[in-house]
Amino acid sequence: MVTIKILGFAGSLRRGSFNKAILRAAREELPADAELEIFDLEGIPPYNQDLDDNMPGRVKEFKQKIRSADAILIASPEYNYSIPGVLKNAIDWASRPPGDNSWDGKPVAVMGASIGMLGGARAQYHLRQVFVYVNMFPVNRPEVMVPFVQDKVDENGNITDEKTRHKVRELLESLISWTRRLKGM
Ligand SMILES: Cc1cc2nc3c(=O)[nH]c(=O)nc-3n(C[C@H](O)[C@H](O)[C@H](O)COP(=O)(O)O)c2cc1C
């Protein structure tokens, strides 16, 4: 069976990010028929349409990684009931220039962690709306929203909660089978 290449990134730049922690958990829970590369959105500047024909190096690198991935995994917090600016900004860059939308046709899975009780649900539904326009194909289930994440990590910030790790693994399995279906892989 062909290995599915997944590109994962977090919608948080924070060093101790809980969303980076669930991405690390995803790498540990990854099924054997897939690989996961984690990209850090650090260094992607605010979007400027003047640069569509001369994109910053970090953006070019990001676009190239998206292109060579079979599927995308996003782990994002919710900021003020919506998508964090750094994440939306990165999505906007990679959707440009016209005719070179790197997201086009990509299968995608979303998960999120929050210190609140809804686990970032509202940001996930806003993200799903964005997927319509950039033409990404999201996995519907399971929905992975990790509430009160601060109670689910060890002293190094790694996810110890078994239920969370299990959900993350289920999401990966779902993303892999969805990708195989969509791409005939
Ligand atoms: C600007 C800002 C807005 C936030 N808004 C929300 C929110 O709407 N809902 C929520 O559950 N948590 C909110 N939080 C708290 C985040 O859940 C918490 O900071 C979380 O740790 C961020 O994810 P990270 O650990 O991956 O950086 C907000 C945090 C910040 C900094």
Using a 6 Å cutoff on CB, does residue 179 contact ligand 1? no
Residue 1 clears pLDDT 90, i.e. is over it: no
Using a 6 Å cutoff on CB, does residue 17 contact ligand 1? yes
Residue 103 clears pLDDT 90, i.e. is over it: yes
CA-nearest residue, atom 20 of ligand 1: 114
Give residue-wise pLDDT tens across range 27-66: 999 999 999 999 999 999 999 999 999 999 999 999 999 9
Give residue-wise pLDDT tens across range 61-96: 999 999 999 999 999 999 999 999 999 999 999 999
Using a 6 Å cutoff on CB, does residue 60 contact ligand 1? no
Ligand 1 atom closest to the Cα of residue 149 is: 21
Using a 6 Å cutoff on CB, does residue 148 contact ligand 1? no
Ligand 1 atom closest to the Cα of residue 119 is: 11
Query: What distance in Å separates the CA atoms of residue 122 and residue 111, rounded to the nearest whole number?
Result: 12
Residue 9 clears pLDDT 90, i.e. is over it: yes
Determine the distance separating the centroid of ligand 1 and the alpha carbon of 26, expressed in angstroms. 20
Residue 172 clears pLDDT 90, i.e. is over it: yes
3-state per-residue secondary structure call for the chain: CCCEEEEEEECCCCCCCHHHHHHHHHHHHCCCCEEEEEECCCCCCCCCHHHCCCCCHHHHHHHHHHHHCCEEEEECCCECCECCHHHHHHHHHHCCCCCCCCCCCCEEEEEEECCCCCCCHHHHHHHHHHHHHHCCEECCCCCEEECCHHHCECCCCCECCHHHHHHHHHHHHHHHHHHHHHHCC
Using a 6 Å cutoff on CB, does residue 120 contact ligand 1? yes
Residue-averaged pLDDT of the chain: 98
Ligand 1 atom closest to the Cα of residue 120 is: 11
